[in-house]
Structure 1
Amino acid sequence: MTIINDAVLSQDIEALRERFTHTQELYREVCALLFFRYGITPTANKLYQLVRKGSMSAPAEALNKFWGDLREKSRTRIEHPDLPEELKNLAGELVATLWTSAQAAAQESLAAHRAEAQEFVLQAKAMAAAAIADRDTERLAAQSLKSELKVAGDQISIQREELAATKEASSSLLTRLDEAKQNNAALQRQLEAARRDFAAELDKLHAAAQLAEERSRSTERRMLLDMDRERTATAKLQKEVDALGAESLRAAIQHRKEFNTLQQTLGDSRQKNGQLEGALQAVTTSLDRANLETKQIQAQLNDSTAQTMSYRSQAEDLRRQWEETQQLLKKAQATKAPERRQRRL
């Protein structure tokens, strides 16, 4: 409330500035404003802080004049010709005291009204703050509700899309189910036809099996006859094999004798081969020595050939030099012959 009173007081002082341009009059009106309207006892510092006009003595002078005028006005004179002077003064002071008491009571009533007004303002502010808080709460609740409604709307849209997709999938599944039923019926018909064909084929197979069994029996009889013939032939062959075995045994004994003879001959041949190998080793050693000597002679021959080639190269060089010398001599002789002729001439 102090801030509000200061603001109102500042507005009232600005209004007085516009009405009273004289400094003393302005200070006097401000004193009356503070004392009578706001119930504040004016002081020189307070006046100067509010008005800020003139020097520091101006508010003090205006304040003294205000208190003098107030005291003068507070005195009530009782003008009656029959009353003594002291009684007049006492009556005036009594009336002044009554006026002061009435003014104090009015100030107290004003203070009570101000306190009540301040309390009402505080209550109004509290109610306004509560209303603002309720409004903010309701606004937040409304925003939350909007968000929830938006989320619910999105979920409903998603569920609608899912429901549409489910319906589409359901219709597709129903179509596939009908197709599957039709295919199943067709397969059932094919199965019945296959069963009939299988029964017919089975009857044919039974007949073929009976025919094959009869053929197998006849074949078995023929095989038994063939086995008897083979058994007889085998016995005959066994006799022939026994005879051949005895003949082979005699041939094997003869071959063993011949093998022993050949074995002895082979031993003699090995002994001769050992002797021949010794002679061959000696010949090989001589041949290696001859090869070594041949290689040495070949190396010497190569050296001689290289030296001969070197000599031949030197001879070629000497021959070229001799030919060049002969040519130079011929040229010299050819040049000297004209000179001699000229000398003779």
Structure 2
Amino acid sequence: MDTPRTNEKQLLADIDRLREQFTQTQDLYREVCVLLFFRYGMTPTANKLYQLVRKGSMTAPAEALNKFWEDLREKSRVRIEHPDLPEALKTAAGDLTATLWTAAQALAHETLASYRSETQVAIMDAKSAVENAESERDTMLRERDEALRGREEASRRVSALEQNLAAAVATRMALESHLKQAMDDNAVHQQRLEDARREFTSELEKLRAAAHLADERFRAAETRTLLEIDRERTRAAKLQKELDACRIAGTQAVERLRSEATGLQSQLGDLRQNAGILEGNLQAVTASRDMAIIDLKALQAQLAEAAAKLGSLRSDGESWRLQAEEAQRMVAELRKAPKPVRVPRKSKAE
């Protein structure tokens, strides 16, 4: 694998962790300078810092970088405090110590760089070994999966074969049972066949005897039949003659019946004509009867009306009779009353 790319990924990861720890822009740039210089052995620059952090203005990484170098020079200066030493010696001793410290630090950086290179090589070898191991592991896993699939397929085939074998065994046992049953049935059928053959032989002898007897009877019957046929022929000839006579008589009867039918048809036509006339008369009589019924109903209505009027007249007559009787009674009473005395009128002369 590419080592600079790996270091860059690790650097970006470390910077992301520093973003979470330091929220101030200058503090973040300072910590990134320390990270680059001391952990990754890289000389920090303003452009590099801004490319990695990208926070604040362009002057922010420059200020942080200057502050970092000042702090580093200040911390790297060695002060030798001794009251008996002159100031120039103190400065020279401090510079010497700083030079030694710088050389030691450079040597340490070189050693660290060499160690880092060796470590990166070892890491690369380890990663290559891991990749090879992972590849071998993947290959072994694939082979194991294929073996498992093969074993499962074999298990399925074995199960299928066992099922087929069990079915075949069951089928064989069933076939053996059927075969044994068939053999038993065959033996029974053979015995029945032998019995049937014996019975058939016996029946055949009986039938032969019966056939011989029937043949004799047939011959006798044939003789009698021939005699009967001769008699029947004679009788048939006689019957044929009688039939011819009957045919002639029938023909004559048919002609007679035809003439009678012709006369009857003529009579039937006359009767139909008379029936038509009678039917017309009947319709006229029916119409006259209907008119008579209508007139009768009208007369009955008039009679009912006259009866009603007669009843009314009778009622009026009874009333008049009572009034007449009352008038007669009053007249009789008047006749019985004394007559008034008439006084003669005086004349004007008297």
Q: Give the TM-score normalised by structure 1.
A: 0.53
* 2:133 equivalent in structure 1: 131
Partner Cα separation in structure 2 for residue 8 and residue 278 of structure 1? 141
Taking structure 1 as reference, are residues 307 and 259 closer, same or farther at Cα in structure 2, changes over 3 Å only? same
Change (3 A) 1:271 1:226: closer
| Distance in 2 (alpha carbons) for counterparts of 1:295 and 1:129 | 136
CA distance in 2, matches of 1:170, 1:210: 56
Deviations 1:101-130 (A, max 9, x none): x99898667645533432331232122133
Cα-to-partner distance string for 1:229-287 (whole Å, 9 max, x where unaligned): 333344445555666677x38x938984x9869966985x6797588558646643541
Q: Return closer, same or farther for 1:235/1:111 CA change in 2, 3 Å cut-off.
A: closer
1:186 deviates by 1.9
Gaps of 5+ in 1: 10-26, 50-54, 78-95, 319-345
* Rounded Cα–Cα distance in structure 2 between residues aligned with 1:271 and 1:59: 159
Task: Tell me the distance in 2 between the aligned counterparts of 1:138 and 1:302.
Answer: 134
Return 230-239 or 160-169, whichever deviates more.
Answer: 230-239
Q: Does 1:211 align with 2:213?
A: yes
Secondary structure of the equivalent of 2:151? Answer: helix
Structure 1 residues 8 and 229: CA distance shift in structure 2, 3 A: closer
1:212-291 correspondence to structure 2 within 5 Å: 212-238=214-240, 248=249, 252=252, 256=256, 280=278, 283-284=281-282, 286-291=284-289
Matched-pair contact (CA < 8 Å) for 1:43–1:63: no
The equivalent residue for 1:328 is none
* Number of equivalent positions: 266
1:190, distance to aligned residue in structure 2 (A):
1.6
**Is this contact kept in 1: 2:78–2:95, CA < 8 A?**
no
Report the 3-state secondary structure (helix = DSSP H, G, I; strand = E; otherwise coil) of the residue aligned with 2:211.
helix
Counterparts of 1:1-345 in structure 2, within 5 Å, are: 1-2=6-7, 34=37, 39-41=41-43, 59-65=68-74, 111=113, 114-238=116-240, 248=249, 252=252, 256=256, 280=278, 283-284=281-282, 286-300=284-298
What CA RMSD, in Å, does the superposition of the two structures yield over aligned residues?
A: 5.5
Give, in whole Å, the separation in 1 of the partners of 2:153 and 2:254.
118
Residue identity matched to 1:183: D
**1:42·1:63 contact (CA, 8 Å) conserved in 2?**
no
Gaps of 5+ in 2: 1-5, 16-29, 54-62, 80-90, 316-350
Structure 2 equivalent of residue 324 of structure 1: none
Task: Indicate conservation of the 8 Å contact 1:34/1:42, yes or no.
Answer: yes
**What amino acid does structure 2 have at the position aligned with 1:287?**
V
Residues 41 and 263 of structure 1, relative CA distance in 2, 3 Å threshold:
closer
1:117–1:151 distance in 2 versus 1, CA, 3 Å: same
Secondary structure at the aligned position of 1:183 is classed as: helix
**Percent identity among equivalent residues?**
31
Q: Distance in 1 between matches of 2:121 and 2:285?
A: 150
Alignment-mate amino acid for residue 116 of structure 2: R
Contact 2:77–2:94 (8 Å) recurs in 1? no
1:308/1:187 CA distance change after superposition, 3 Å: farther
Answer yes or no: is the 8 Å Cα contact 1:34–1:41 preserved in 2: yes
The alignment partner of 2:228 has SS state of helix
1:297 maps to amino acid = D
Per-residue displacement from partner, 1:26-54 (whole Å, max 9, x unpaired)? x9xx98x947x8644477998xx9xxxxx
Give the deviation of 1:184 after TM superposition: 0.9
- Asked whether the 8 Å contact 2:37–2:44 carries over to 1, the reply is yes
Partner AA of 1:64 in structure 2: R
Q: Would you say the 8 A contact 2:77–2:95 is kept in 1?
A: no
Instruction: Compute the TM-score of the two structures, normalised by the length of structure 2.
Output: 0.53
Query: Residue 62 of structure 1 aligns to which amino acid in structure 2?
Result: D
